């Protein structure tokens, strides 16, 4: 999905809601971004992902209908197929040097069964949350500005698996590949070779959950 495609889905929703013609300035206001930010994003074909995700949470719109190539009439709700997960819009996990978080407020992000199935099925949604990613240490797997889905019930890394987890460390909240060393310590591995691998004791970290899926920043 490109910028114009996502914005036209939002325009369609707003036209149905307000029953009037919707201009770019109206959409910028609804997304809570400046006209300048909107114009820059349009020129560079860069989707303001966090603003759109927050808009979808506020409006109860199915996020994958906005971001992926589905027809506008798919925005019409089918309540027996809609599911929700918690989106902690003010919590940032860092793919970099560490992000300190102080807010636990969340909104409900609406998804459909298709997206739920990619996360393991609707029976697992109670333990799945969505958070923001800052930084580039996990690129190209996870881009700066992406939305990460994590399973809070999976907090034990498996040796030699190198799976991605979110964890709380003395330096902040991080998203890293985790591995267990031969002497029982925890190895924090970045995908970006510009970042060094860190090794910490298990008692220095709290593993918050395993990464299940990503809405990539465009």
Could you give phi then psi for residue 21, rounded to 5 degrees?
A: -70, 135
Instruction: Write out pLDDT tens, residues 15-35.
Output: 999 999 999 999 999 999 999
CB-based burial, 93-114: b 16+ in 10 Å, e otherwise: bbbbeebebeeeebbebbbbee
pLDDT class of 206 with cuts at 50, 70, 90: very high
Q: Is the dihedral of CA 99, 214, 145, 177 positive or negative?
A: positive
**One domain, residues 106 and 8:** no
Per cent of the chain over pLDDT 90 is 57
The Cα–Cα gap between 122 and 114 comes to 10
Give the pLDDT of residue 15: 95
**One domain, residues 115 and 200:** yes
Give the pLDDT of residue 99: 56
Cβ atoms 147, 132 nearer than 8 A: yes
**One domain, residues 111 and 196:** yes
Let me know how long the chain is. 218
CA distances (Å), 4 to each of 10, 24, 43, 130, in order? 10, 11, 10, 25
Supply the pTM of this predicted model: 0.79
**One domain, residues 103 and 180:** yes
**One domain, residues 120 and 217:** yes
Give the pLDDT of residue 190: 94
pLDDT, averaged across the chain: 87
pLDDT class of 91 with cuts at 50, 70, 90: confident
Q: Last residue of some domain: 51, 76, 101?
A: 76
Domain that includes residue 18, residue range: 1-76
**One domain, residues 93 and 16:** no
CA distances (Å), 40 to each of 37, 49, 198, 214, 217, in order? 5, 14, 37, 24, 15
Residue 203 has pLDDT above 70, yes or no: yes
The domain total for the chain is: 2
**One domain, residues 141 and 187:** yes
Q: Is the dihedral of CA 29, 30, 34, 36 positive or negative?
A: negative
Cβ atoms 27, 38 nearer than 8 A: yes
The Cα–Cα gap between 74 and 71 comes to 6
The Cα–Cα gap between 98 and 168 comes to 9
């Amino acid at each position: 999905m490109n910028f114009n495609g996502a914005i036209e889905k939002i325009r369609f929703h707003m036209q149905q809601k307000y029953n009037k013609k919707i201009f770019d300035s109206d959409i910028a206001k609804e997304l809570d971004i400046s006209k300048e930010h909107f114009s820059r994003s349009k020129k560079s074909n860069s989707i303001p992902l966090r603003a759109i995700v927050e808009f979808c949470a506020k409006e109860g719109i199915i996020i994958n209908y906005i971001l992926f190539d589905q027809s506008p009439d798919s925005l019409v709700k089918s309540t027996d197929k809609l599911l929700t997960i918690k989106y902690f819009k003010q919590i940032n996990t860092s793919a970099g040097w560490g992000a300190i978080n102080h807010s636990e407020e969340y909104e409900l992000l609406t998804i459909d069964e298709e997206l739920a199935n990619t996360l393991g099925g609707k029976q697992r949604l109670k333990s799945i949350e969505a958070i923001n990613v800052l930084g580039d240490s996990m690129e190209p797997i996870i881009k700066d500005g992406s939305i990460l889905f994590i399973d809070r019930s999976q907090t034990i890394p498996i040796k030699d698996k190198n799976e991605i987890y979110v964890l709380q460390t003395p330096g902040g909240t991080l998203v890293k590949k985790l591995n267990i060393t031969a002497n029982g310590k925890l190895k924090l591995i970045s995908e970006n070779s510009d970042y060094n691998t860190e090794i910490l004791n298990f008692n220095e970290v709290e593993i918050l959950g395993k990464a299940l899926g990503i809405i990539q920043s465009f």
